[in-house]
Amino acid sequence: MVAAHVADALGGIPATVVVEPTALTVEQVVSVARHGAPVQLSPRTIAALDTARTHVETHAASDTAIYGVSTGFGALASTRIDVDLRDTLQHSLVRSHAAGSGPEVEEEVVRALMLLRLHTFATGHTGVRAKTAQLYADMINARITPVVHEFGSLGCSGDLAPLAHCALAAIGEGRVRDGSGTLRPAAEALAHAGLQPVTLSAKEGLALINGTDGMLGMLCLALCDLSVLATTADITCAMSVEALLGTDRVFADDLQAVRPHPGQRASAHNLRTLLANSAIVASHRGADCSDVQDAYSLRCAPQVAGAVRATIAHAADVAGIELASAVDNPVVLTDGRIESNGNFHGAPVGFVLDFLAIAAADLGSISERRTDRLLDPARNQGLPAFLGDSPGVDSGLMIAQYTQAAIVSELKRLAAPASVDSIPSSAMQEDHVSMGWSAARKLRRSIDALTRVLAIEAMTAARALDLRAPLAPAPATAAVVERLRKAVPGPGDDRWLAPEIQATVDLLLTDELRNAVQTVTGPLA
């Protein structure tokens, strides 16, 4: 899987993220995970950690049955653990649960889940010691990234195996990637960074692994990427509408106000802005134009893109609540009680991860339909077949659309929800799970796929706009074509297309096409 790294609005040297007992933001998560921002524990955080730890130590020395402190885990929750074995219990937990398998997960995902686990510590509801939390902060700052594997989380009782691999590194075991990306034993990487592994105490092992941080981290990264791609989709759509001699009248705000979804109006506003002062659009605006209305893939673009934006907004609301939460079991309450709960269940996050995959699939689907229309001489308003230089001799962009169609079909498969599945574990104690980690992993593949679909539409529409000469496109869409032409040649004889597709993908990943537009239009919605 190619990781999606669509650029966001952050630039320059990222500011230090101060980890407080209060909520993190999506932007802070992305800054640390993707851009290497350092983290720092605030005095309030240290105080909250110390207070909660006092409660844990009081209970750990007693005979009170507390899950994971004086008992075993999962189906072994009824097994009492002697006081002198309770620290050993925590190390055994981490070692046994670090049972992931498959390819390594991307660095940005691991950094995100470590930051989010650190934030949960900071709330004062987990009972970990300040020194343990500080080690997580130090590992993040030293860019020591534990090796986490693709498979191992059922998204309930937290992302257990992924988080256990991070905890394993914190106790000086397992493998990590250092700041240069070199694979090293954890103990060696810690020593090289001047850090000491931690010896876990009561409840700490459980607190290190019992959270939904992996799926939430991937949700935060996805929200950043999809917000950019939603605007990029408006840009590629405007290029296609223009190249297909479509009308901009259907994007008028008074028409959108009749059905006033905010995302729909934002998308329509972008389309009007992008198509402003287009000589191509103006050329067929007169009374002699016989086309009554455009195809759905053009006319209904704001409705589909608006629904995508609404889905992103809903997912952001869920993320906001999760970023203000302490996900652990049991939790330390302010009155000193340590209580079991079900807050580790990943359903809230899993559902929106699946919802976003559906939205990405449909945004890709409508993009592919516009591309197909641009290439079909029966529907592309007088352009050459497949935009080839000499149709018959040249196949033009015919097979680029095949590639796009194959990716769209993959997007549809990825839209099948993971969160409707559940598989019992731990001798039926954990008999209903969220599969939120799986939903997050496939959403990352969806984002990569959507980026490629939009890139092929941009490349195709740009060639079509070139073929409309001498009519000039709008200044905004012309800026896209101009930037694209620095990396991808214009119309001509058939040539090797794979590098051109990848070059266009790279322009989307680095956000250069959107930036080119915004130098003309100002910020788009």
User: Tell me, what amino acid is at 266?
Assistant: A
* pLDDT tens-digit map of 155-201: 887 899 999 999 999 999 999 999 999 999 999 999 999 999 999 99
Looking at every residue in the chain, the average pLDDT score rounds to 93
Closest CA to 45 of 108, 150, 136, 152: 136
3-state secondary structure string, 188-233?
HHHHHCCCCCCCCCCCHHHHHHCCCHHHHHHHHHHHHHHHHHHHHH
Cite the beta strand spans of 281-393 per DSSP E. Answer: 331-332, 338-339
Average pLDDT over residues 298-309: 98
Could you give all domains of the chain from N- to C-terminal order, each with its CATH number? Answer: 17-211 (1.10.275.10), 224-521 (1.20.200.10)
Cβ neighbourhood burial of 320 (10 Å; 0-12, 13-18, 19+): middle
* pLDDT tens-digit map of 131-161: 999 999 999 999 999 999 999 999 887 899 9
Q: Which of 59-63, 343-347, 382-386, 482-486 has the lowest mean pLDDT?
A: 59-63
Centroid of chain to Cα 318: 14
The pLDDT assigned to 1 comes to: 42
Separation in Å, CA 56 to CA 5, 94, 127, 131, 504: 41, 19, 6, 15, 55
The pLDDT assigned to 342 comes to: 87
| 302 preceded by a cis bond (ω within 30 of 0) | no
Active-site positions?
67
* Contact call for residues 359 and 308 (beta carbons, < 8 A): yes
The DSSP bridge partners found for residue 18 are 40
Structure tokens at 476: 């905004």
3-class DSSP state for residue 332?
A: strand
Structure tokens at 299: 């006319």
Q: Which band of pLDDT confidence, cut at 50, 70 and 90, is reported for residue 400?
A: very high
* Contact call for residues 428 and 77 (beta carbons, < 8 A): no
* Contact call for residues 281 and 248 (beta carbons, < 8 A): yes
Structure tokens at 302: 């704001």
The pLDDT assigned to 66 comes to: 77
Rounded CA gap, 53 and 332, in Å?
9
Rounded CA gap, 395 and 418, in Å?
39
Furthest C-alpha separation in the chain: 90
Q: Which band of pLDDT confidence, cut at 50, 70 and 90, is reported for residue 292?
A: low
Q: Which band of pLDDT confidence, cut at 50, 70 and 90, is reported for residue 442?
A: very high
Q: What spatial distance separates the first Cα and last Cα of the chain, rounded to whole Å?
A: 30
Output the CA angle 347-349-350, nearest 5 degrees: 60
* Contact call for residues 155 and 438 (beta carbons, < 8 A): yes
The pLDDT assigned to 74 comes to: 65
Rounded CA gap, 115 and 187, in Å?
20
* pLDDT tens-digit map of 204-228: 999 999 999 999 999 999 999 999 9
Q: Which of 59-73, 197-211, 236-250 has the lowest mean pLDDT?
A: 59-73
Q: Which band of pLDDT confidence, cut at 50, 70 and 90, is reported for residue 6?
A: low
Rounded CA gap, 37 and 508, in Å?
23
* pLDDT tens-digit map of 332-388: 999 989 898 988 899 999 999 999 999 999 999 999 999 999 999 999 999 999 999
| 330 preceded by a cis bond (ω within 30 of 0) | yes
The pLDDT assigned to 425 comes to: 84
Q: Which of 1-5, 307-311, 453-457 has the lowest mean pLDDT?
A: 1-5
332: left (phi over 0), alpha (psi -120 to 50) or beta: beta
Separation in Å, CA 406 to CA 124, 138, 376, 399: 49, 44, 18, 10
The pLDDT assigned to 307 comes to: 98
pLDDT exceeds cutoff 80 at 291 = no
